[in-house]
Amino acid sequence: MTLKSVKPGNRVIVQKLTGHGKVKRRLMDMGIIPGTEMEVQKSAPLGDPLEIKFKGYNLSLRREEADMVVVDVLSPRLVPKLELGNEN
């Protein structure tokens, strides 16, 4: 699975980068290397760019860049579910 297909709220760990040359180097310079944990924060209304959070900061990536990052999903962000009409 690539970072491009991860839904907001999911945490992932980077497995490898598939890009080439300058783009791959730029991703690595930003700290996106195998073993890095990150969380997809949100996606722009038209889907590009993605906002991810890792190592204490937020970063926006284009979908074509995110497609070069192979990841494994760790867990979704825990969001409490509200059940309406069940107040006893």
Per-residue pLDDT at 74: 86
Query: What three-state secondary structure class fits 88?
Result: coil
Between CA 33 and CA 42, with CA 28 as vertex, the angle to 5 degrees is 75
Mind listing the pLDDT tens digit for each residue in 26-56? 999 999 999 999 999 998 887 789 999 998 8
Alpha helices (runs of H) in 2-81, residue ranges in sequence order: 21-29, 63-66
The CATH class given to the 3-76 domain equals mainly beta
Q: Is the pTM of this model over 0.85?
A: no
At residue 82, the pLDDT reads: 47
43, β-bridge pairs: 50
Supply 19's token pair.
């890009």
- Please compute the mean of the pLDDT values over residues 52-61 and round it to a whole number: 92
**Domain positions in the chain:** 3-76
% of residues, the chain, pLDDT over 90 = 58
φ, ψ of residue 86 to 5 degrees: the values are: -115, 35
